[in-house]
Amino acid sequence: MINNFNFLQAKNIKHAVDVLAREERVCPVVGGTNVLVNMKRGPLPVDTILDLSGLSALRSITTDDGIISLGAGVNVAELLEWSKANSVAAELFSPMCSEFAGPLIRNLATVGGNICDASPASDLAPPLLALDASVVLASKAREIRKIKLADFFQGVRLTDRLPDELMTHIEFQQPNDERFYYYKLGKRKADAISIVSVAISIKYDKEKVKRARIALGASAPIPFRSKSAEEVLFEKAMDPQIVDSAAAAAVADSNPIDDHRASAEYRRRMIEVLIKRGLTKIADERVNSR
Amino acid sequence: MSKEPLEFTLNGQKESISILPRTRLIDVLRNELGLTGTKEGCGTGDCGSCTVLLDNQPVNSCMMFGLQARGRHVTSIEGLSQNGELHPIQQAMMDHGGIQCGFCTPGMVLSLKSLLHEKSTPNEDEIREAISSNLCRCTGYKKIIEAALSVAKTSSLSSVTKEDNNIIGSSMVRGDAEEKVTGGSVYAQDVSFPNMIFGVLLRSEHPHAKILSIDTSDAELIPGVKAIVCGREVDMGLYGYELRDHQIFALDKVRYIGEPIAAVAATSLDIAYEASAKIKVTYDPLPAVFDPEDAIKTEAPLVHDDANAYELDWETERSGNLCYKLNLSDGDIEEGFSQADFIVEGSYETPVAHAGAIEPHCSTARVDSTGRATIWTTTQKPFVFRSYLASALKRPLNKFKIVPTHIGGGFGGKLFPSLEPYAVLLAEKARLPVQMVLTREEEMACALLRHPSKVKLKTGVKSDGTLVAQSARMIFNTGAYGFYGPNTAALASLMVTGPYRIPNLDVTGLVVYTNTVPNGSIRAPGAPQLAFAVEAQLEKVARTIGMDSLEFRLKNAWDEGDVTCLGQKLESVSIKECLTKAADAINWNEKREPGVGKGLACLWWVSGQWGTQTLIESNEDGSFRLINGCVDMGTGGLSSSVIQMAADGLEVRPELIQLVRGDTDNLPWDHGHGGSRTVFTIGESAYDAAINLKQQILKEGADFFGLPLDQVYISEERLCVRGDPSQSVSLSKICFDRHKKHGGPMVGVSSSLPQPPPTTKDHPIGGFSAASFCAHAVELSADRDTGEVVVKRYAAAHDVGRAINPAGCEGQIEGGVAMGLGLALMEELVEQKGKIVNPTFADYLLLTAEDMPEIETILVEKPSKEGHFGVKGVGEPPIAPPTGAVANALMSAFDIDVTSLPLSSEEIARLIRERHHDQ
Ligand SMILES: Cc1cc2nc3c(=O)[nH]c(=O)nc-3n(C[C@@H](O)[C@@H](O)[C@H](O)COP(=O)(O)OP(=O)(O)OC[C@H]3O[C@@H](n4cnc5c(N)ncnc54)[C@H](O)[C@@H]3O)c2cc1C
Ligand code: FES
Ligand code: FES
């Protein structure tokens, strides 16, 4: 009933995976913005808190051979600064990070925490899905494991992470010539939980869409990519009809919740509106840039 | 589990302590190290009151384990001033009126300090963003932003300069500002005693059920449990305001989810919760009723078996679940409608809302060996609380001493006891001091809330725009108990005409019991509900007759000498001036782009009365103590305006007058802080006491010079002789001599109870003293598809009678507008089968600094004929018109009819879609 647990500070990644392998009921914590909310609501079902916040190895962002890797311990404020400074997918990361919670939480909340918490309304997930990112997991017992983010999410607050695994980073191919769109619909201007969020990445081959990635948050039990919408766009010119069909396909793929924040009906309508807007904006930019 | 060592740097000093692993950083600061400037408003990362700097970055200290601070640098508010010198942002917050209740202030200051550290000249948008995690319920952020801009020096607004030496009309810095900005003020949650234990409540999980048994035996066995109390062992009395229908514990049955059943105190909060979970309550569920319209049907389950049995001070018709019914009519309604060229009907609903103070309720009680209880608590009404406790616990009044702490925002949410009686009972049984704090969830789901309303209006108008008749049927769901239900309906009935001439009127107000959380008396009870309904209805009427909304309102607005529906003849009426000024401020007549709308709304309101007594006593050195039993919940009414009024009476600098803080043992009786009364009632009484004291001082001075009384006067802290500049004596000498040589200090006294103006009709509220008037104007746009609203400009014109402290008046208005915009756009407690499903600041949304629009605050000064200064109350009215103004702007932009609040994006998108779909 009472919050009683050991508190261990990870000294390095090896120590962290050792603890995860050795101890029962270990809960990693970095920013604590999920864990401490849970603790306020009731005792945590854990024996050991494993603090990763001191692990500098988890806090770097690197680019190596066209692969960008975001450390699991990078917080949202740092991600925002980095994306601004390096203009990597800034059209996704800048608006997402600056609308993520408020400035206080952004100084704590980490990439790894957000992904491992696997909230349906995770704001980090849609941009990372649109970048086709992979989660990288380390453990004592096995090799480094890489899994596509799209497969990592298993259900509401459920992931493919095994209890002995540590998420070390998330990686994606450096974007090259993609066009992006991001929009978060919340109930107020700052510190709002997403009603729906949309991240789109489009790669053209001449006039046609070579590759589309359409990712949605707060639109189903997990953040996901709408394969049907992506298929509709594949090898098509983005004319208004195609845009409409893609938006409709995304709605069909979605399965949003009906709750006090918004009705499922509104969320569905907004998925349609926002995807149309995003695709239209990308198509218009394409026309204008020629 | 054992304690772990924690070494870190706090405010530049190394700290080395041992803590349990579960201890959060906020607990390290507050409990382990006694630095209580860091506040806890929610504990879930949603309010920012716990902000500290971690290696110079602002973070929520409630979101970190203390052990995570190992080796790091933490700055709390206590570490900000250096060598007794305030940080520039602290000084600016004081000078610009950025501090009201002060509960958000430490966090706000730290967020701003960090911003100014990173960017020396941030612009306004950057400032808004930097404080967008720090919720403030009092100020509407405007003065905080101005303070930050002044430090950043990116605007012409540099430091505040004093224009002249007038006491009245100058924006004196509130007396408690420095204490608040440095984190030194003691709020209820900062009270602590050695041996103090912690109490929690066990609350009903059922909306309506018989209690078959309560078994506390397992809970009592848990080590650390010191006391468990439930209703059967307490001699409970009924208490309430006009209506006395409430007992502190459910006894035979529970009537709402969250009703207290038992209270537990233990050596730690965790143990208390564990024990309360071990109390076994067996229920026999009863059919429940949630909707007031269902509840007044004859077959509805009865919330109270015999509502008629309860004492109610007012005449009414009661039966079944009808708690109170009010009828009010004027003229001849049938005749009125028969004169109308058009008749317009509309239905309007508003949801349950929360007062939204960032400070949760908290009380600490200690009972002495004679059974006398002292209660440190966050209350707007210390003396009235004493009476409530006496009734609730059936004990004599003098068994209770209430010590009001600083209040972290009241807004009507702290007008009734919440934890006090339980803390007393637990402290008595445990023989230890007991502290109780509502969790944010309890605060949102179980504290007394704002009444939801359903209002049906029917309005008759002539084609030239003259209003001729209006009928209203209002239903207020009061929840399981009456509290302020009757009063809300009665006040609301006087809002049905708004400040407009409607000669024929018929109003029915129903207050209905249901199995939902009881509602109380939140800032301007009834007013936002009715301002929304009436102003949206008038918009519909104006549209029906094709008249401009401003012109239509001006045509019907009251003039001097007009008579209200109760027969009160109005004096110093300024509604047209307010309307014109507010409309001008947003360029009412300028052409509007598609998707952009403008809206107007007006209100009239009362300046609260009730009795008070003020004493002003001279000190030996010529300074003074002002003694009054009211408390300042943050508005600054008491700590600035009232002092200024006393200073004006005494003809001394306000700095010479100290406001005495005390308790119900050592202060004179006062009704409390609420009802827009502080400056009107207490200020006037302070002035009278000052005049009374000045006469005594002048008498001493006249005796000193051996001259007649009219030959001496006070100037620059000296007693001077008329016509002879060479002769004068210091005030301090006169006070000292009188004090030391002739029988103690001089004391000016005034007791007062302002009387409401006469009316020709009987009504439970009666005439409005020093009636105030206001008009708001808004310009906004909305996205047709998503429904997202952008408020572009906002103007609020308020007749305050006389602006004793202009910045203080503006602060009330700006904070009120923020609250009103919240009610208009996003604030709603969602009740599903009697359960509130969004009881957090993550889901009950207050406006952030980024949501608050540019606001132009216009002070109109048309002095009331009541009182020396002619002030009119301004505490409550600003929250009401935003509901109507926003509704009207949306109605005009999209040609839609709005029917309910809040106007969320979803609701707006739905209204627009349904209106324009088939075109
Ligand atoms: C007021 C508030 C506002 C918020 N607003 C938003 C918002 O707008 N958008 C949004 O998406 N989210 C929001 N959140 C949630 C967001 O802050 C978290 O999801 C955050 O990103 C989690 O990071 P953390 O470091 O704080 O995680 P923690 O609380 O430390 O951990 C979260 C979970 O992940 C696990 N974990 C963390 N790191 C690892 C790792 N490296 N390997 C394995 N497991 C790990 C932990 O065990 C835990 O289960 C908000 C939270 C709060 C309190
Ligand atoms: S108390 Fe920490 S954010 Fe509210
Ligand atoms: S002054 Fe900001 S909450 Fe009261």
Number of domains in chain B: 4
HEC string of B618-640 equals ECCCCCEEEEECCCCCCCCHHHH
**B190 has a pLDDT exceeding 50:** yes
- Whether the CB of B363 is below 8 Å from some CB of chain A: the reply is no
**B520 has a pLDDT exceeding 50:** yes
* Same domain, yes or no: A157 and A220: no
Could A103 and B21 be called an inter-chain contact, meaning their C-beta atoms sit closer than 8 Å? Answer: no
Please tell me the predicted confidence (pLDDT) of residue B551: 98
A136 pairs with which residues across the strands? A146, A169
What is the DSSP pairing of strand B657-659 with strand B624-628?
Answer: parallel
Tell me, yes or no, whether B295 lies in a domain: no
Please tell me the predicted confidence (pLDDT) of residue B917: 77
* Same domain, yes or no: A207 and A139: no
Tell me, yes or no, whether A29 lies in a domain: yes
Could A188 and B845 be called an inter-chain contact, meaning their C-beta atoms sit closer than 8 Å? Answer: yes
- Compute the distance from residue B77 Cα to the ligand 3 centre, in Å: 15
**A266 has a pLDDT exceeding 50:** yes
Nearest residue, CB atoms, B45 vs list A6, A37, A49: A37
- Compute the distance from residue A16 Cα to the ligand 2 centre, in Å: 29
**B919 has a pLDDT exceeding 80:** no
Is residue B425 within a helix (H) or strand (E), and if so which, with residue range? helix B420-430
DSSP B518: -
* Same domain, yes or no: B559 and B655: no
Please tell me the predicted confidence (pLDDT) of residue B918: 55
**In one letter, which amino acid is B207?**
P
Average pLDDT (A225-229) is: 98
Task: Give the span between the Cα atoms of A89 and A63, in whole angstroms.
Answer: 13
CATH number at residue B649: 3.30.365.10
Tell me, yes or no, whether A1 lies in a domain: no
Q: How far is CA A152 from the centre of its chain?
A: 11
* Same domain, yes or no: A46 and A147: no
Which residues in chain A (152-181) have CB-CB distances under 8 A to chain B? none
* Same domain, yes or no: B173 and B59: yes
Tell me, yes or no, whether B676 lies in a domain: yes
* Residue in the block written with tokens 């009309």: B169
Average pLDDT (B596-621) is: 96
Q: Is the peptide bond before B725 cis (omega within 30 degrees of 0)?
A: no
- Given a contact cutoff of 8 angstroms between Cβ atoms, the answer to whether A26 and A4 are in contact is no
Residues of B in contact with A110 (CB under 8 A): none
Substitution site in B49, B62, B63 for ligand 1 pocket (most atoms within 8 Å of beta carbon): B63
Tell me, yes or no, whether B333 lies in a domain: no
- Helix, strand, or coil (residue B614): strand
* Same domain, yes or no: A192 and A238: yes
* Same domain, yes or no: B240 and B372: yes
* Same domain, yes or no: B785 and B858: yes
**In one letter, which amino acid is B327?**
N
Range of the domain at B774: 453-608+760-916
- Compute the distance from residue B358 Cα to the ligand 3 centre, in Å: 7
* Same domain, yes or no: A60 and A168: yes
**In one letter, which amino acid is B66?**
G
Please tell me the predicted confidence (pLDDT) of residue B164: 57
What are phi and psi for residue B425, nearest 5 degrees?
-65, -40
- Whether the CB of B906 is below 8 Å from some CB of chain A: the reply is yes
Task: Give the span between the Cα atoms of A128 and A63, in whole angstroms.
Answer: 16
**pLDDT, tens only, B868-894:** 999 999 999 999 999 999 999 999 999
Q: Give the whole-number percent of chain A exceeding pLDDT 90.
A: 93
- Whether the CB of B724 is below 8 Å from some CB of chain A: the reply is no
* Same domain, yes or no: B791 and B891: yes
Average pLDDT (A79-95) is: 93
**pLDDT, tens only, A175-209:** 999 999 999 999 999 999 999 999 999 999 999 99
What are phi and psi for residue B529, nearest 5 degrees?
-60, -50
- Whether the CB of A257 is below 8 Å from some CB of chain B: the reply is no
* Same domain, yes or no: B486 and B535: yes
Could B826 and A188 be called an inter-chain contact, meaning their C-beta atoms sit closer than 8 Å? Answer: yes
- Whether the CB of B222 is below 8 Å from some CB of chain A: the reply is no
- Counting atoms of ligand 2 from 1, which one is nearest the CA of B40? 1
Could A270 and B786 be called an inter-chain contact, meaning their C-beta atoms sit closer than 8 Å? Answer: yes
Could B64 and A108 be called an inter-chain contact, meaning their C-beta atoms sit closer than 8 Å? Answer: yes
* Residue in the block written with tokens 């300090």: B113
CATH number at residue A219: 3.30.390.50
Nearest residue, CB atoms, A3 vs list B22, B51, B848: B22
Please tell me the predicted confidence (pLDDT) of residue A3: 76
DSSP A13-69: HHHHHHHHHHSSSEEEESS-TTHHHHHHHS--S-SEEEE-TT-GGGS-EEEETTEEE
Please tell me the predicted confidence (pLDDT) of residue B158: 47
Which of B782, B779, B824, B781 lies closest to B910, judged by CA? Answer: B782
Tell me, yes or no, whether B330 lies in a domain: no
Could A104 and B847 be called an inter-chain contact, meaning their C-beta atoms sit closer than 8 Å? Answer: no
- Whether the CB of A281 is below 8 Å from some CB of chain B: the reply is no
Answer with the one of B734, B752, B770 that is the final residue of a domain.
B752
Tokens representing B110? 């730290």
Which residues in chain B (413-432) have CB-CB distances under 8 A to chain A? none
* Same domain, yes or no: B536 and B563: yes
Which residues in chain B (21-50) have CB-CB distances under 8 A to chain A? 21-22, 24, 43-46, 48
* Same domain, yes or no: B49 and B177: yes
Mean pLDDT lowest among A259-273, B149-163, B170-184, B841-855: B149-163
pLDDT bin (cut points 50, 70, 90) of residue B240 is very high
Answer with the one of B145, B162, B184 that is the final residue of a domain.
B184
Cβ neighbours of residue B354 under 8 Å, at least 6 residues apart?
B413, B443, B444, B447, B449, B450, B522, B827, B829, B844
* Same domain, yes or no: A204 and A217: yes
- Whether the CB of A52 is below 8 Å from some CB of chain B: the reply is no
Please report, to the nearest 10 degrees, the dihedral formed by the alpha carbons of residues B807, B812, B818, B824 taken in order.
Answer: -140
Residues of B in contact with A50 (CB under 8 A): none
Q: Which ligand neighbours the alpha carbon of B51 most closely? A: 2
Please tell me the predicted confidence (pLDDT) of residue B741: 81
Q: What angle do CA B794, B599, B451 make, to 5 degrees?
A: 90
Which of B126, B93, B110 lies closest to B53, judged by CA? Answer: B110
Average pLDDT (B483-491) is: 97
* Same domain, yes or no: A45 and A60: no
Nearest residue, CB atoms, B21 vs list A7, A108, A262: A7
Task: Give the span between the Cα atoms of B6 and B534, in whole angstroms.
Answer: 60
* Same domain, yes or no: B173 and B37: yes
Is residue B530 within a helix (H) or strand (E), and if so which, with residue range? helix B527-545
* Same domain, yes or no: B97 and B49: yes
Spell out where B519-664 has E strands.
596-605, 612-618, 624-628, 657-659
Q: Which of A191, A197, A275, A277 is most worth mutating to test chain B (most B CB atoms within 10 A of its CB)?
A: A191
User: What's the farthest any 2 CA atoms get from each other in chain B?
Assistant: 91
* Same domain, yes or no: A121 and A169: yes
Nearest residue, CB atoms, A190 vs list B44, B439, B850: B850
Tell me, yes or no, whether A43 lies in a domain: yes
DSSP B268-320: SHHHHHHHHHH-EEEEEE------HHHHTSTTSPPSSTTGGGSEESS----BT
How many angstroms away from the CA of A205 is the closest CA of chain B? 31
How many angstroms away from the CA of B824 is the closest CA of chain A? 13
Q: What is the rounded average pLDDT for all residues in chain B?
A: 96
- Whether the CB of B111 is below 8 Å from some CB of chain A: the reply is yes
Task: Give the span between the Cα atoms of B466 and B471, in whole angstroms.
Answer: 16
**pLDDT, tens only, B65-92:** 999 999 999 999 999 998 889 999 999 9
Average pLDDT (B467-480) is: 98
Tell me, yes or no, whether B162 lies in a domain: yes
CATH number at residue A134: 3.30.465.10
* Same domain, yes or no: A165 and A207: no
* Same domain, yes or no: A29 and A67: no
List the alpha helices (DSSP H) in B28-141: 88-95, 105-118, 124-130
Number of domains in chain A: 3
Answer with the one of B184, B205, B227 that is the final residue of a domain.
B184
* Same domain, yes or no: B439 and B493: no
Average pLDDT (B781-809) is: 97
Tell me, yes or no, whether B351 lies in a domain: no
Encode burial over B757-790: b for 16+ CB neighbours within 10 A, e otherwise.
bebeeebbbbbbbbbbbbbbbbbbbbbbbbbbbe
**B816 has a pLDDT exceeding 50:** yes
* Same domain, yes or no: B719 and B631: yes
Tell me, yes or no, whether B563 lies in a domain: yes
- Given a contact cutoff of 8 angstroms between Cβ atoms, the answer to whether B254 and B216 are in contact is no
DSSP B69: G
Mean pLDDT lowest among B64-78, B542-556, B576-590, B734-748: B734-748
Could A37 and B906 be called an inter-chain contact, meaning their C-beta atoms sit closer than 8 Å? Answer: no
What is the DSSP pairing of strand A196-205 with strand A208-217?
Answer: antiparallel
- Given a contact cutoff of 8 angstroms between Cβ atoms, the answer to whether B380 and B417 are in contact is no
Could B4 and A5 be called an inter-chain contact, meaning their C-beta atoms sit closer than 8 Å? Answer: no
Cβ neighbours of residue B823 under 8 Å, at least 6 residues apart?
B350, B353, B528, B879, B882, B883, B901, B902
Residues of A in contact with B22 (CB under 8 A): 3-5, 39
- Counting atoms of ligand 2 from 1, which one is nearest the CA of B60? 2
Answer with the one of A157, A173, A189 that is the final residue of a domain.
A173
Could B273 and A1 be called an inter-chain contact, meaning their C-beta atoms sit closer than 8 Å? Answer: yes
Please tell me the predicted confidence (pLDDT) of residue A287: 79
- Whether the CB of B837 is below 8 Å from some CB of chain A: the reply is yes
- Compute the distance from residue B485 Cα to the ligand 3 centre, in Å: 27
Which of B813, B794, B791 lies closest to B859, judged by CA? Answer: B813
- Whether the CB of A53 is below 8 Å from some CB of chain B: the reply is yes
Tell me, yes or no, whether A282 lies in a domain: yes
**B723 has a pLDDT exceeding 80:** yes
* Same domain, yes or no: A81 and A160: yes
Range of the domain at A12: 6-51
Answer with the one of A129, A147, A173 that is the final residue of a domain.
A173
Please tell me the predicted confidence (pLDDT) of residue B262: 98
Please tell me the predicted confidence (pLDDT) of residue B83: 86
* Same domain, yes or no: A70 and A163: yes
- Given a contact cutoff of 8 angstroms between Cβ atoms, the answer to whether B856 and B875 are in contact is no
